[in-house]
Amino acid sequence: MILLTFKNILSDGILHESSSDDLESLIVNLKSKKEWLHSQKIDDLLDYFDSLGNYWKNSSTDDFGNNLKHISEFLSRVNLTKELKISLRGNFSALDDFVQLFDDSEFLYHAQPRGISVHWIAGNVDVLGIFSVVQALLTKNLCLIKVPHDYPLLKKLILSFKDVSTKKISGKDLLNCITLVYIDRTDISNQEILSKNADIRIAWGGEEAVSTILSLKKNFFTEDIIYGPKYSYAILDSEFLKDNLKNATQRLALDISIFDQYACNSPHTIFVENNDADNPDLVKDFAKELSNSMETVNRLILPKSQISEKKSMDILSLRAEYDFKGEVFAPKNTDWTVIYSEEEGLADPCFSRVVFIRSIKNAEEIGKFHNRKIQSIGIGISDHKRRKKLIDSITLLGGDRCPSIGNMSKFHSPWDGIFGMDRMVRWISMTNQ
């Protein structure tokens, strides 16, 4: 059996069953689209993505998966306008022309694309790749996507670009600005070509994958944007739960279930502050209520994806372990698992909708578990002042996002501490005469 270590999947808007083109010539071809993309107006691109989002929102989840609403919201004109404004210093017209920024009259500024953005997409969260691809196209960068071995959803989403056109932009033309390739992890020579030709390297992935990407040779001026490997958790206080228990568990169940917990923003541990000796069962009751919500979300909103035999056994093994040393709330099958124990700290992630519920006496103590590997902290702290103070003190040690619970999986900038689109452009200045 001959194993293909390199495969051209999509170029020039055409899906290839097999193609003899080598990677270098695919890159030359992709570069030829640079002028076309640069000539598109940001307003027209925003129109296009807004239409694309609507198209996906109105499509069947059988075709495009369960996260469509989520992605469509990201693509809305309102959201992307906000994202661009924040990332590009308040004036995203800088993508089209030289403009004034803030009240500086001495210089005019223009955000030029860096060139080719290469996206390394992680296996289990292939759909997250859409976020970086859209940001790259909005900033007028060409996209070369190294897809994982299995990426059915990402392929469908990208291919559907051609099904949408607006007055000014044809989806087919925009699709020409994207090339998809598969390169086996053992094919170092093609990985090197990919890396050397990248003006921006964007990596979504686990620790091992990202380390491999970072070890590849790159151009001196290449910008690296690393998404992952990160760990996320949530923290709630009893005051917050007092009137909100059901709502809080429903929102957390969504945060846990989106992406089946494989994304860096998925919570694995939920801390519940309980310093009330009168209510010793608060945390366990919360776990029980969360289990009801996990079941509802699985049944009605986000059915669990198929898992491997190994993952199924990992879940069963963990359940048995905590049947001995804690309390396990789970259905007979492996769809979801809520584990309560009296242990301290962040639990090792199992993924696949396995969440650990732990008690903490004082929310402020959470800082001792913080490091730069922490990404999202879902916040359910009732008092605004206390919330801000807590977030300030813990993020000094690590942690990049502190959304309210239920919003942990909503992609927005900054992500992993980075305003992505800012890093995708080169700022040019000229004297304003």
Q: Judged by CB under 8 A, which of 230, 284, 387, 401 binds other proteins?
A: 230
Closer CB to other proteins, 46 or 200, in the complex: 200
CB of 358 to other proteins, least distance (A): 14
Closer CB to other proteins, 43 or 224, in the complex: 224
399 contributes a contact to other proteins by CB under 8 A:
no
Q: Please, what sign has the CA dihedral across residues 398, 401, 407, 413?
A: negative
**How many C-beta atoms surround the C-beta of residue 306 within 10 A?**
7
DSSP β-bridge partners for residue 223: 200
Q: Of how many residues is the chain composed?
A: 433
430 contributes a contact to other proteins by CB under 8 A:
no
Q: x/- binding map, residues 179-208, to other proteins, per CB under 8 A?
A: -------------------------xxxxx
Q: Judged by CB under 8 A, which of 7, 38, 288, 311 binds other proteins?
A: 311
Closer CB to other proteins, 94 or 338, in the complex: 338
Q: Judged by CB under 8 A, which of 26, 30, 80, 122 binds other proteins?
A: 122
In 3D space, the residue among 233, 193, 157, 206 whose CA is nearest the CA of residue 403 turns out to be 233
157 contributes a contact to other proteins by CB under 8 A:
no
266 contributes a contact to other proteins by CB under 8 A:
yes
DSSP sequence for 182-244: EE-TT-HHHHHHHHHT-SEEEEE--HHHHHHHHHS---TTPEEEEE---EEEEEE-HHHHHTT
Q: Judged by CB under 8 A, which of 2, 58, 106, 149 binds other proteins?
A: 149
For helices 77-87 and 68-75, the axis angle rounded to 10 degrees is 60
E strand or H helix that includes residue 112: strand 107-113
4 contributes a contact to other proteins by CB under 8 A:
no
CB of 395 to other proteins, least distance (A): 16
Q: x/- binding map, residues 342-361, to other proteins, per CB under 8 A?
A: ----x-xx-xx---------
d(CA 249, CA 246): 5
Look at strands 200-204 and 223-227 and give their pairing: parallel
d(CA 388, CA 382): 11
312 contributes a contact to other proteins by CB under 8 A:
yes
Interface residue list for other proteins (CB under 8 A): 122-125, 128, 148-150, 204-209, 227-232, 259, 261-266, 268, 306-314, 316-317, 320-321, 323-324, 328, 332-334, 346, 348-349, 351-352, 369, 371, 373-374
